[in-house]
Copies of this chain bind each other. A is one copy, B any other.
Amino acid sequence: MIDTPYLLFLGDAPDGLAAKVAQGIKDWRPENCAGQFRMEGCKADMKLPDMSLTEAKEAGAKTLVIGVANRGGVISKAWKQVLLEALDEGYDIASGLHNLLRNEPDLAAKAKELGRTLHDVRIPVVQYPIANGEKRTGKRVLAVGTDCSVGKMYTALALDRDMRKAGMKSTFRATGQTGILITGEGVPLDAVIADFMAGSIEWLTPDNDADHWDIIEGQGSLFHVSYSGVTLALIHGGQPDALILCHEPTRDHMRGLPGYKLPSLEAVRDMSLTLAQVGNPDCKVVGISINTQHMSDAEATAYLAEVEARVGLPAVDPYRHGAERLVEALAAL
């Protein structure tokens, strides 16, 4: 569990895209953000108050979260100076970078000396069990995609937001680094040992109130040959009662796999449901989430209508239009 509120470290981000972790935190948990820390030349802006380490500390910030990707996988000297000062100021530091904070000797030494915590959310900190497949109380919904990076995390976060708005009980369950930094906890599934993948998801989504929903962040795709095993572990460990299909319509091949076409929504629906029903025979596919960010308003509206008519399920872009219709479909289960 990462202490909040955060001071978001944007470093010397060359553009907004480089700070997409910070953007995710700001978009979905603004209440966790005391402010942003930007270095000279930073081109990203979360529209949060710019604060020094001292100012943010006085405003209550507890953890400096690295919200920006580092260039070349190296923690630069300029960054390092800020991170060391943050430890001196009393902050913990949280990071999803590939190269770990704990492997930087100066950071590790100072954190140990001062009793601060370095959260490397890329690395599991729990000894997960092997999945036992036992039926759990409460309800679960999982987003499954035609491909990687089609909007599964945003779909889950929008569902969580709109379920709470509708007065329903829900918890977003993060399974990736950005999701973990947004919520402060979760399972970094892509770094879990193969045998414990499904068990880690059982651990993440335990028994709960009968009317509580776990909104499980999806990963990969059953049709993405690099990561499909991770997706199936989510389906079987998550034991979902409901699936949401996720798709990005403008892509011409699977992410990172030239020559691999995206599967149809129908293929993802049939394959995911058949596999999900192994663990939960009552599982249903309840809706479709389309990432229309590369479409105009008119294109998006027309595409959503076409998909909805063809597949026979509510089809929305939850980020653009809200997830209310998906929430209604879940509430009706």
Q: How many residues of A contact B (CB 8 A)?
A: 44
| Complex: chain B residue closest to A225, CB-CB | B236
A89 contacts the other chain (CB 8 A): no
A233-248, CB under 8 A of B: which get 1 and which 0? 1011101000000000
A193 contacts the other chain (CB 8 A): yes
A227 contacts the other chain (CB 8 A): yes
Residues of B close to A229: CB separation below 8 A? 194, 197-198, 229-233, 236
* Complex CA distance for A133 and B131, rounded to whole angstroms: 28
Q: Which of A83-126 contact B (CB under 8 A)?
A: 98
- Closest Cβ of chain B to A99, distance in Å, is 10
A189 contacts the other chain (CB 8 A): yes
Q: Please determine whether B271 and A275 come into contact, CB atoms closer than 8 angstroms.
A: yes
A192 contacts the other chain (CB 8 A): yes
* Complex CA distance for A222 and B222, rounded to whole angstroms: 12
| Complex: chain B residue closest to A131, CB-CB | B226
Q: Please determine whether A190 and B198 come into contact, CB atoms closer than 8 angstroms.
A: no
A264 contacts the other chain (CB 8 A): no
- Closest Cβ of chain B to A121, distance in Å, is 15
Q: When A71-B130, A72-B130 are in contact, do A198 and B222 touch as well, CB less than 8 Å?
A: no
Copies of this chain held together in the complex: 2
A178-190, CB under 8 A of B: which get 1 and which 0? 0000000000011
A76 contacts the other chain (CB 8 A): no
Q: Which of A249-288 contact B (CB under 8 A)?
A: 254, 256-257, 259-260, 263, 271, 274-275, 278-279
| Complex: chain B residue closest to A72, CB-CB | B130
Residues of B close to A145: CB separation below 8 A? none
Residues of B close to A189: CB separation below 8 A? 194
A149 contacts the other chain (CB 8 A): no
A302 contacts the other chain (CB 8 A): no
* Complex CA distance for A71 and B132, rounded to whole angstroms: 11
* Chain A contacts to B: CB under 8 angstroms: 71-72, 98, 129-133, 189-195, 197-199, 222-223, 225-233, 235-237, 239, 254, 256-257, 259-260, 263, 271, 274-275, 278-279
A-B contact pairs, 18 of them (CB 8 A): A72-B129, A98-B195, A130-B226, A133-B260, A190-B195, A193-B193, A194-B233, A197-B230, A199-B226, A222-B232, A223-B278, A225-B236, A225-B278, A228-B233, A228-B236, A229-B231, A229-B232, A271-B274
